[in-house]
Amino acid sequence: VLTVIARINVKNSDLLTNEEFETVQQSRYFLKSTINMPATPYYFDHAATSAPKSSAVIAAMTSYLEHSGKSMGRGSYQESVQLDREIMQTRVLLNRFIGGQNANHVIWCQNGTDALNLAILGMIQPGDHILTTSLEHNSVLRPIQHLVETQRVTCEELSPLARGVVTADQVHEAIAAHKPQLVICTHASNVTGITQPIAAIGEVCQRAQIPFLVDAAQTVGHLPINMLEQKIDLLASSGHKGLGGPLGTGFLAIGESCAQKLKPIRFGGTGSSSESAQQPQQLPDRFESGNLNVPGILGLKAALEEAGRTSPRLRRLHEIALIELLLTSLKVIPGLQIFEPQVSAENRIGVISVTSEVLDPHTLGQILDTDFQIQVRAGLHCAPHAHRHYGTLESGGTLRISIGHTTTPVAIEYLTQALRTILGV
Ligand SMILES: Cc1ncc(COP(=O)(O)O)c(C=O)c1O
């Protein structure tokens, strides 16, 4: 029956007669009634964006929109100057959060994708060679592909070895063989949730004097990050995922080693050096043309202030406990395959991919949504090469369950029960 429900939910409803359809619809509602439906959906897509946003974030944004709504970096009137100050304070908070070298080197971007575009297109010259991994998101793969097609750029991708990890030794060997101009690695896979040995790779890159760009979209706010200690030259991230800021926020933090070299990819008014025909050289202005997303950044400021009130270690320990609970609950569901189940919670973020022997990921995701009010993500998660590596590219990818700071043990219990009910185990 479940396989048939699945078919209805996707697109093969023509496989059934009307009568069969009725029967299945009824059994479907029978199934649903075996566990209590929540009043509001249980959200397990924190890897896409954090939700709900905290009341502090909402209050900061609403207050700005209600009482100001002005631009920053443009006017000399007091209100605009005060906004400049608050945006700068947010840079300082964020720079501290990621162990950066200089708050002026924190560049506001629209999202993680925008930050990665700036880093990749801004660092690479025609004919350069890039070293990266097959775990990367399309926001890394596609800018590279654009450079390959238009600027004679070449690229090598390292696949993870055992336990879903790309090692520093692999990076060392590839650097020795091909001398890339840029090394790019995700801090954690957005498909498996497995963290990568960023500090060890940073060490290898620094010794070889090759700039190291880390995609930390999935980790800032979840894992401790220190650009200096981990020898990261460029750190790109969203502000709306682990940090809990609103959509429309992201940043690129630039280490001293790349501050001169990085070229802008957008040009225009910065509110500074307006007499010059050229883009200003100083940071952050070189990379921040046009009005900034002031409400978004102020929302992010509130999120950073909130995060600053708990120790990062405690936050991480809490998250590890939730990951452990999710992992152990999923592992014992018959017929459910977890990607890299042997990797412990300490070496993961709260992102777990599963596939079922009975239902394809899209169908499973759809039943969870429509019948149980559980929101997960099914598919390739914009990381097609990771799926090629795991053999799930052609079979619809995986069902991705991702948790965040607002996830509760009760929600995990409910998800587990729902999966058991759907799979009939
Ligand atoms: C690993 C990784 N990099 C980059 C991005 C892009 O981030 P954004 O959605 O903020 O553009 C994502 C988003 O899912 C991601 O998971």
Ligand 1 centre distance from Cα of residue 8 (Å): 32
The CA-CA-CA angle for residues 22, 26, 27, to 5°, reads 120
Ligand 1 atom 15, closest CA: 217
Please list the residues that pair with 400 across neighbouring strands. 353, 377
Six token digits for residue 328: 């152990």
- Which pLDDT belongs to residue 8? 44
Distance 256 CA to ligand 1 centre (A): 25
CA of 260 relative to ligand 1 center, distance in Å: 26
Using the mean position of ligand 1's atoms as its centre, give its distance from the Cα of residue 191 in Å.
11
Residue 7 C-alpha from the chain's centroid: 31
Identify which of 46, 113, 132 to mutate to test ligand 1's pocket (most ligand atoms within 8 A of the CB): 113
Distance 5 CA to ligand 1 centre (A): 33
Q: What's the pLDDT at 324?
A: 97
Q: Is 195 in the pocket of ligand 1 (CB under 6 A)?
A: no
Query: What is the token pair recorded at 186?
Result: 């995700």
- Name the burial class of residue 417, with classes exposed (0-12), middle (13-18) and buried (19+) by CB atoms within 10 angstroms of its CB: middle
Please tell me the distance from the alpha carbon of residue 409 to that of residue 412, in angstroms, as a whole number. Answer: 5
The pLDDT assigned to 31 comes to: 53
Closest Cα partner for 162 from 137, 193, 194, 203? 194
The size of the chain, in residues, is: 425
For ligand 1, whether the C-beta of 137 sits within 6 Å is yes
Identity of residue 247: L
**Residue owning the nearest CA to atom 7 of ligand 1:** 112
Q: How far is the CA of 113 from the centre of ligand 1 (A)?
A: 6
Ligand 1 centroid to residue 235 C-alpha, Å:
13
**Beta strands in 47-153, from DSSP E residues, in sequence order:** 106-109, 129-133
> In this predicted model, what pLDDT tens digit does every residue of 93-111 receive, in sequence order?
999 999 999 999 999 999 9
Which pLDDT score is estimated for 384?
Answer: 97
What separation in Å is there between the alpha carbon of 276 and the centre of ligand 1?
35
Mutate to test the pocket of ligand 1, among 136, 187, 218 (most ligand atoms within 8 A of CB): 218
Tell which one of 140, 215, 238, 252 to mutate to probe ligand 1, the residue whose CB is within 8 A of the most ligand atoms.
238
Pocket test for ligand 1, best of 108, 132, 139, 215 (most atoms within 8 A of CB): 139
> Does ligand 1 have an atom closer than 6 angstroms to the CB of 117?
no
Q: Which of 99, 37, 120, 107 is nearest to 312 (CA)?
A: 99
pLDDT (tens digit per residue) in 277-333: 999 999 999 999 999 999 999 999 999 999 999 988 899 999 999 999 999 999 999
Contacts of 163 (CB under 8 A, 6+ apart): 194, 340, 342, 343, 347
3-state secondary structure of 425: coil
pLDDT at 37: 73
Q: Please indicate whether residue 218, judged by its CB atom, sits closer than 6 Å to ligand 1.
A: yes
* DSSP reduced 3-state for 247: coil
* Residue 424, token pair as written in the block: 């009939």
Query: Which atom of ligand 1 is nearest to 186's Cα?
Result: 1
- What is the rounded CA–CA span in Å between residue 337 and residue 361? 11
Place of tokens 């506001």: 108
- Tell me which H or E stretch contains 414: helix 409-423
Angle between helices 312-331 and 409-423 (to 10 degrees): 20
> pLDDT of the chain along its 425 residues, tens only?
344 444 444 434 455 566 665 665 555 544 555 566 777 899 999 999 999 999 999 999 999 999 999 998 887 899 999 999 999 999 999 999 999 999 999 999 999 999 999 999 999 999 999 999 999 999 999 999 999 999 999 999 999 999 999 999 999 999 999 999 999 999 999 999 999 999 999 999 999 999 999 999 999 999 999 999 999 999 999 999 999 999 999 999 999 999 999 999 999 999 888 999 999 999 999 999 999 999 999 999 999 999 999 988 899 999 999 999 999 999 999 999 999 999 999 999 999 999 999 999 999 999 999 999 999 999 999 999 999 999 999 999 999 999 999 999 999 999 999 999 999 99
- What pLDDT does residue 10 have? 40
Rg from Cα positions in the chain: 23
CA distance 386 to 137: 9
Measured CA to CA, the distance from residue 372 to residue 367 in angstroms comes to 7
Q: Which atom of ligand 1 is nearest to the CA of 115?
A: 11
Q: Give me the pLDDT at residue 18, please.
A: 66
139 lines ligand 1 (CB under 6 A): yes
Is the Cβ–Cβ distance between 72 and 87 less than 8 Å? yes
Ligand 1 centroid–CA 247 distance in Å is 12
